[in-house]
Every structure is written in C-alpha cells, then in structure tokens.
Amino acid sequence: MFGKITKKFSGMQLIAGGFFLIILTGTLLLMLPFSAKSGEFTPFLSALFTATSATCVTGLIVVDTFSHWTTLGQIIILTLIQIGGLGFISIGATAAMLLGKKIGLKERGLIQESFNVIEIRGMVRLTKQVILGTIFFESLGALILSACFIPKMGFSQGIYYGIFHSISAFCNAGFDLMGRYTPFSSLTGYYDHPVVLVTIMLLILIGGLGFIVWNDIYKHKWHFKKYALHTKIVISATFILVFGGALFFYLIENNRLFSDMTLTGKLLSSLFCAVTPRTAGFNTVDVAALTDGSKLLTIILMFIGGAPGSTAGGVKVTTIVVLLVFLKSNLTRTVGSNIFGRRLEDEALRKAAAVFCTNLFLALTAVIFICGTQNFNGIDALLEVFSAIGTVGMTAGLTTQLNGVSQIVIILLMYLGRVGSLSFAMSFTDKKKIAHVMQPAEKINIG
C-alpha cells in the first residue's frame, strides 16, 4: 500500500495531502461525544483547531486540554502529536518494514524529502535510528517526569502525565494537562522545579536538533571537527540562541516579571523563555505579562525555530545562518559565503531567501487581517501569528478570543508552518515543465 500511494503523487503532494487527511481524521474523532467530558459533540471548528494544532505540533488551543477532553480525547491528541512530530512518512515506512515490505527507491526518496536530508543513501537505516532514538528519549523523559509527578498526583496519574508531557515536549508540541490545577496554566506551577524544567528543556532541544544531527553525533561522538557543516551550524546556532536568549530575558525581566522569584527561579525562567520558543510552546511565566521587549525577542526566536528535519518549526536556524553569512560576505566584499572553512552553495542562499520571505509575508499578512477584523494589541497579534506559523504554541491570551474567521487563518498558518509554506506552494507546480529560456537581463537600482 505504501509503495502504491507513493507512485501516484509527488513527494510534496503526498506530504501535504497526508497531513491534511490526518488532521481531518483527528477532527472527526475529537468531534464525537466520547472525546469530550461533557458527553456532547464538540463544535467542528474547535475540533479542527485542536487537531491541526496537535498534528502540526503547535500547542495553540481554544479549549483547555485537561478540562474539555476525556482521557480518550487526550490520547487521540497525543497520537496526533506523535504522528505529527515523527512525520507520517517515517511511521508508514516503519510499518512497511515491520510487515516485511520492500522500501524501494521512490519510497526512499519520499523519506529523504520528509526528513529534509540531502543524500538518499541510508534512508532505511536513518528511519530505524529515528524511531529507536525517539522511543529512547521519550521513554527516558517519561521516566524522569513520572518520578516528579507521582508524589503529587498518585502512581497511575503520575505515569500518565509523565508520558504525555514527555512526548509533547520531545515533539515540540506544547500541549499539557496542567489544567487540572488552573486552565491554560501550562507549566507555571513548576517555574522553579529544576528537574521537571531541565528535563522538558532537554527534550525540546533534542527534538529540535533534527534527525540528521542525531545521526552525525552518533557517528562522530564529540569530535566537533568531524561533523558535517549542517551539524556544526545547527549546534553553534542553537547554543548562541539558547544562552544568548536566556541572558537577554534575564536582563529584561530581572526587575520586572522575575522580580519576586528566587535566583533559581530567575535562571530557570530565563532559560525556559529562551528554549520554549524553539518551538515547544510551554510556558513557566504568564506570556501576556512579559514586557514588549521580551515579547519581541520571543517572536524572533519563534520565527527562527529549530533545525531542518526535526520536530521543530520556524524558518529554521540554517536559513538564518545562511542569510547572515551572505550578508557578512557582502559587507566585507568577500568572494563566496564561507563558514567553518566551507563555501555555501548559491542554491542554499536562494532557498533560504525564499523560505524567509514566504513565511514573513504570510505572517505579516495574517497579522494585518486579524488586527483588521479584531481590535487586538499589535505586539500580541504578532506573537499569536508567528507562534502559529512557527508551530510554537505560545500566546498572550488571544487564542481563546479569536473569532471563527481568525481561527481559520491561524489553522492555515499552523498547517503551512508544519508542511512548509514553500513546499506547499511548490506541490502545485511540482510536475509543471518550465521552458529553459532566459529573458534579457537589465540592471536596476538596489538599496
């Protein structure tokens, strides 16, 4: 079945269509009475919003996950998160391998496109490593979190909460069940709990590094010089964004939002504020209470996101690094865009510019539309929209106030953010033939 499907559609069309079908299936299941604690049908738009947010591992919600959904409804959401985080292509390939089916060249190409890997070689091995690595990290995270939750919640609930939050964190989904204490509270009750927060942050970062980086680290261990250029860029950029971002949050909020916290709480909150926009969506402080400077920093981090081929969203760290390296080479009038002793290809620059501009255009258009139809604060609307297209899930409280049309806009942004806005656009032109005729060149003024 896996092989027959891949022959009918291009890779981009299959990925875009597959996510749509998964979202639709999740929507129908969440609409049914057994999914809601009220025992009644959930409105279509609320179910669609939740299913899209879960499948696209975003975390924005219009109803509280604990308060509204039954245990079965929560498990449906968790299943959508796992499928969305790993990608249904890798899950389909794994199922085919378990059934003894042969993974042909077409299927390997599809896996390559799903993981956003440059080479097609070793796709079956990479898929196995991804599945095993995911099971290992999620299980380890669930074990640690369960040990923290059991004393307060009891044995069975503690284990359930540990599993749920471990998968949600690793997949960078941001869904939580802490509404049992206060609806929409996320992890604010654990803002100074080092074991819970460090575990969540590590799961977010490991999931956001990407499967390609895992493979490289697995092969070369801690020998940084032996890593591929991609891995060097991802690790270096992640380090700078996490610790640089944490420093900025500490300096901005130390005497404001963090003023009543202990030193441990301030340090953990600063780190968490830098990690969660990459693109997990949990929060340990009230996002609406952040200063405008911190909100703007959060928006920037959400727009950047994680690494290609990971559970994270955003335009990706490699996109930003490529653009910055190109900017540096132009300012210094250097021939070629060079980093870590290697020259970047022109194709990388073209793709980075296209991804950056496409996402920025979609986000700003959505902000103008939402602010035009609803009288929201500009910075909060920016945070909401960039959170959606970056598949983050952070909000200043606007999500529950969105009207039907604005909800649809956010749903589309979450979908495009997970599938890839550029990939989605290209899925409609994938098979079109373009004539190899170049138009006459003419100079224009720039800048």
User: In the chain, what are the domain boundaries?
Assistant: 2-427
DSSP-based three-state secondary structure for 339: strand
* pLDDT number for residue 85: 84
Distance (Å, rounded) from C-alpha 103 to C-alpha 257? 53
Mean pLDDT within 320-324: 95
* pLDDT number for residue 62: 96
* pLDDT number for residue 1: 47
The percentage of residues in the chain with a pLDDT greater than 70, rounded to a whole number, is 86
Buried b vs exposed e over 353-388: b needs ≥16 C-beta within 10 Å? Answer: eebbebbeebbeebbeebbeeeebeebbbbbbbbbb
- Are 184 and 282 in contact by the 8 Å Cβ rule? The answer is no
Place of tokens 């927060």: 197
pLDDT band at 143 (very low <50, low <70, confident <90, very high): very high
Distance (Å, rounded) from C-alpha 276 to C-alpha 297? 12
Cβ neighbors of 32 (< 8 A, separation 6 or more) are 41, 42
pLDDT band at 392 (very low <50, low <70, confident <90, very high): very high
Per-residue pLDDT tens over the stretch 204-239: 999 989 888 888 888 888 889 899 999 999 999 999
Among 92, 61, 93, 94, residue whose Cα is nearest residue 77? 61
The H or E element containing residue 338 is strand 338-339
Residue 315 pLDDT exceeds 60: yes
* pLDDT number for residue 2: 46
Give the tokens for residue 76: 């449906």
In this prediction the pTM is 0.90
- Are 337 and 322 in contact by the 8 Å Cβ rule? The answer is yes
| Cis preceding-peptide flag for 279 (omega within 30 of 0) | yes
Mean pLDDT within 67-80: 96
* Averaged pLDDT of the chain: 88
Of 281-290, 339-348, 432-441, which has the strongest mean pLDDT? 281-290
Residue 173 pLDDT exceeds 90: yes
